[in-house]
Copies of this chain bind each other. A is one copy, B any other.
Amino acid sequence: MTRSQPLTEFELIGRYFTRPTQHTVLGIGDDAALLTVRPGFELVAATDMMVEGTHFFSDVDAEALGHKILAVNLSDLAAMGAKPRWAMLAMAIPQADAAWLEKFARGFFALAQRYDVDLIGGDTTGGPLNLCVQIMGEVEAGRALRRDGAKIGDEVWVSGQLGEAALAVAHIKGEWRLPDALAASCRHRLEWPQPRVALGRGLIGTAHSVIDISDGLLADLGHICERSGVGAIIDFDALPCIPELRSMKERDQVAQALLAGGDDYELCFTVPPGNEQRLTALSEQLDITMTRVGSIMPGNRVEVRGPAGRPLEWKEAGFEHFR
């Protein structure tokens, strides 16, 4: 491809984004796609948009970007306990750059294939770089994991480790200087999030409420509390993270990364007491650590307790795109 013979929109879609579908009545190529939701299932639908400068840095690898725009959408389905099935991809790109598109598509389809997701439609246009995926899946009718089911007395758990993606952002912005190896591993966490789809499926019937941690634990657990009409207490020392983060001397920044760091895409969920064995089995089966970090309480706030149970002062609750 040369600049003098740019790809048309239709050539671009045909070359990079048209793959055979596995479970779709009619995919890319008509005015709309057709699909069938199996009897006994509800359709689960979400959308996430990513913009250069707001959600990713301009030097990000195109393959990672193709992975991440699908991963953050899959993470929404994971938080509902849904099985991903279909995706649509709308994108604005400044120019049709063949090398970039090929890498982007490689990252996107590798993840789509892993979760058996059909790309069934989309839109491609010129404009400032903007990626928007709509994800659809199925969940057994009436069984979806929601934000509004937390009960007083529930335990609050999180999967995986928190804070690395926030560390990477701080490092890239020059706010925090990390050793090279740690910077690289944190940046990998930021750019290649792993959606917890199997965990979400496994929590059906056990968890009272689930959310994915995209805006930071405090903000996201706050959404559960708001929707469920409850409060929560978090034990700061219990928050799971890599030892390098826990041992850093910049205490405020560590707290910021653990409590308000977005982009980890772990799940936060509440379960009634007595499910430790079930969660341990799930953790081993999926090879994902799970950590109890607090409790659901009466009230309407999320409090954080530090050493000796003292409340931590807290100002900034999560990543807000407009603040």
Give the B-binding residues of A (Cβ under 8 A).
6-9, 12, 25-26, 29-37, 39, 42-55, 75-77, 79-80, 82, 86, 88, 90-92, 95-96, 120-128, 130, 132, 134-137, 139, 141, 144, 146-148, 210-212, 227, 320-323
Contact = CB atoms under 8 A, between A and B. Distances in A.
A126 B321 contact: yes
Residue from A126, A130, A136 whose CB has the most chain B CB atoms within 10 Å: A130
B54 A121 contact: no
Residue from A7, A227, A320 whose CB has the most chain B CB atoms within 10 Å: A320
A93 B70 CA distance: 22
Nearest to A32: B46
Contacts of A35: 42-43, 45
A155 to B, nearest CB: 20
Nearest to A147: B30
Residue from A50, A88, A120, A132 whose CB has the most chain B CB atoms within 10 Å: A132
Contacts of A95: 322
Given A126-B51, A322-B6, A37 B29 contact: no
A36 B42 contact: yes
B125 A51 contact: yes
Copies in the complex: 2
Given A26-B144, A211-B31, A90 B125 contact: no
Contact of A32 (B82, B86, B123, B321): B82
A6 B323 contact: yes
B30 A227 contact: yes
Given A32-B135, A36-B141, A47-B122, 20 more contacts: A8-B320, A8-B322, A30-B148, A31-B77, A31-B212, A32-B79, A33-B46, A43-B43, A45-B136, A47-B90, A48-B123, A49-B91, A49-B125, A51-B128, A54-B125, A55-B125, A124-B321, A125-B321, A126-B322, A130-B130
Contacts of A26: 144, 146
A202 to B, nearest CB: 16
A220 B177 CA distance: 54
A26 B82 CA distance: 14
Given A34-B139, A88-B134, A132-B132, A7 B322 contact: yes
A147 B27 CA distance: 12
19 contacts: A8-B320, A30-B227, A31-B212, A32-B76, A33-B45, A34-B44, A34-B139, A35-B43, A36-B37, A36-B141, A39-B39, A45-B136, A46-B88, A47-B90, A47-B121, A47-B132, A51-B127, A124-B321, A128-B130
